[in-house]
């Protein structure tokens, strides 16, 4: 896995308009792990891409009326089978964390990379997802000097009053072991 000009060379690339410039491109110092499925609990649908590119239609599913107008994105989505799609280059600010705080710093989007795992809070993640995630994290740490294995957080940790992802089924011990190999 390699990064060239802030894009993963091996990832599918779909550009999201839901990003902007970081105040300091060199201050990439946090990785935030999320989970997403649209509709909830359904996998391998076109709806995550539609959400991140502002093309999600309310009439596509009853749960989409409340989210179809959101302007959100993440840098990366890792599907259940391990396919990686990148929506925002790493030097840009993706809109994934919302109101958030990490170690006393607010606005985590300013200094973080957001990684979405296709899943739910209560569905175990797949071996291909863990494999791709750990390889990606190693690559990010090698590329961005302010990143390290201690600064990896769940969305639930930076926005505990609002978010629960990646959820109770995410195996932090496994990720830590794989990233440190």
Packed helices 127-143 and 172-180: angle between N→C axes, nearest 10 degrees: 50
Instruction: Enumerate domains of the chain plus CATH numbers.
Output: 3-180 (3.40.80.10)
The first and second tokens of residue 105, run together, are 């710093």
Instruction: Kindly report, residue by residue over 38-52, the tens digit of the pLDDT.
Output: 999 999 999 999 999
Active-site choice (116, 118, 150, 178): 116
Closest CA to 162 of 96, 112, 114: 96
116 tagged catalytic = yes
What are the pLDDT digits (tens) for 19-40?
999 999 999 999 999 999 999 9
Distances in Å between the Cα of 27 and the Cα atoms of 105, 139, 162 are 12, 17, 25
- Is the pLDDT assigned to residue 171 strictly greater than 80? yes
């Amino acid at each position: 896995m390699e990064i060239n000009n802030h894009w993963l060379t091996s990832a599918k690339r779909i550009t999201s308009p839901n990003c902007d410039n970081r105040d300091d491109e060199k201050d990439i110092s946090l990785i935030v792990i999320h989970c997403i499925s649209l509709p909830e609990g359904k996998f391998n649908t076109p709806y995550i891409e539609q959400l991140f590119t502002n093309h999600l239609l309310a009439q596509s599913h009853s749960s989409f009326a409340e989210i179809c107008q959101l302007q959100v994105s993440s840098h990366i989505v890792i599907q259940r089978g391990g396919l990686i799609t990148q929506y925002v280059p790493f030097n840009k600010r993706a809109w994934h964390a919302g109101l958030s705080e990490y170690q006393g710093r607010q606005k985590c989007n300013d200094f973080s990379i957001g990684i979405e795992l296709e899943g739910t809070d209560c569905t175990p993640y797949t071996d291909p997802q863990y494999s791709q995630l750990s390889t990606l994290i190693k690559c990010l740490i090698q590329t961005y000097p302010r990143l390290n294995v201690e600064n990896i957080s769940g969305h639930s940790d930076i926005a505990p009053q609002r978010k629960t992802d990646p959820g109770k089924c995410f195996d932090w011990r496994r990720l830590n072991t794989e990233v440190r190999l």
